[in-house]
Amino acid sequence: MTESENLTPVNINPVLEESWKQVMKEEFTKPYFIELKKFLLQEKADGQIIYPAGSQIFNAFNLTPFNEVKVVILGQDPYHGAGQAHGLCFSVPHGVKPPPSLQNIFKEINSDLGNEIPASGNLERWAKQGVLLLNALLTVRANQPASHHKKGWEQFTDKVIETISKEKSGVVFLLWGRFAQDKESLIDKSKHFILKAAHPSPFSAYNGFFGCKHFSKTNELLKQQMRKEIIW
């Protein structure tokens, strides 16, 4: 039996932080997720380079346990350049130059809060404070943006958003750009907070991202709930 045929419920479960594994466990045996696993195995068999590395695909979940989620930032798909993607939306590993959208995020934080612009674009420090840095797609082919669109990831990450909305309360969702804002319907606005702005991309940042003050607003919303503010 080949690896792609041997897809029992036991070996399709990803290595995932325990609280996420519990709330998402039913997804891993659903037909769409099994097909997604087959697709990824076939990509590998065909010699495609996939980002991020397999061990980092679920980085956002492993660094921000379900029980600790206070803020959700939604991205679209991983960076498709070598060495950039590591499983957190907008983030890059230490030593990798921050891409333009991330540079604009840092500029807005500087304007909003006065924080110095950091040299590193690694946002793990946010993730460890309860900021879920979630891309809608968790994998991508090298140099081919959106190449894993409509393969199953959107269904999985939509379920993540729905589960946060249903099982938690008082979470701050930052929806930047139309793609992220299309997810608003998955969120119970009577229980959670939604802040919307333009995408931080250079193509749209001046149309409403700069000046949005989402970082101070997020901290104010957390403070109102007697929750620890994020050190951005």
Catalytic residues: 77
Cα torsion through 151, 183, 212, 59, rounded to 10? -50
Beta bridge partners of 81: none
Judging by beta carbons within 10 Å of its beta carbon (0-12, 13-18, 19+), is residue 73 exposed, middle or buried? buried
134 three-state secondary structure = strand
Beta partners for 196?
175
Helix axes 214-224, 100-113, angle to 10 degrees: 60
